[in-house]
Amino acid sequence: MKRFNQKGVTTIVVIITVSMYAIVSSYNHKRIIQGYKEKITTYKNTLTKEIQEDFVKIGVSGTVMRNGVLADANGYAIITFFGE
């Protein structure tokens, strides 16, 4: 029986190793990006919650939507407070 060419087997092992490294690296990059997206979403939700709580504390009773836009002609939001 003929022996395998040891250089050929080594080349195959190197190719497999490089391929596995590329796959793991790609997965890690996607994981990091997903983590950043989750942090941004969490920050946005927390900020929205804080703003809504502040509106409740100062007594916002509602908003007015005119022509499908939540603002007046000058671009300012129309917010009404309790007692107005």
Residue 74 above 70 pLDDT? Answer: no
pLDDT at 67: 58
The string of pLDDT tens digits covering residues 4-63 is: 655 666 788 888 999 999 999 999 999 999 999 999 999 999 998 998 888 777 776 666
Is position 61 within any domain? yes
Domain with 44, as residue range(s), is 6-81
**Is residue 63 in some structural domain?**
yes
Q: What is the pLDDT of residue 23?
A: 94
**Looking at the domain assignment, is residue 26 inside a domain?**
yes
CA separation for the pair 18, 31 (Å, rounded): 20
**Residue 18 resides in a domain:** yes
- Tally of domains in the chain: 1
1 falls within a domain: no
Confidence of residue 69 (pLDDT cuts 50, 70, 90): low
List CB contacts of 66: < 8 A, sequence separation 6 or more. Answer: 72, 78
pTM score above 0.85: no
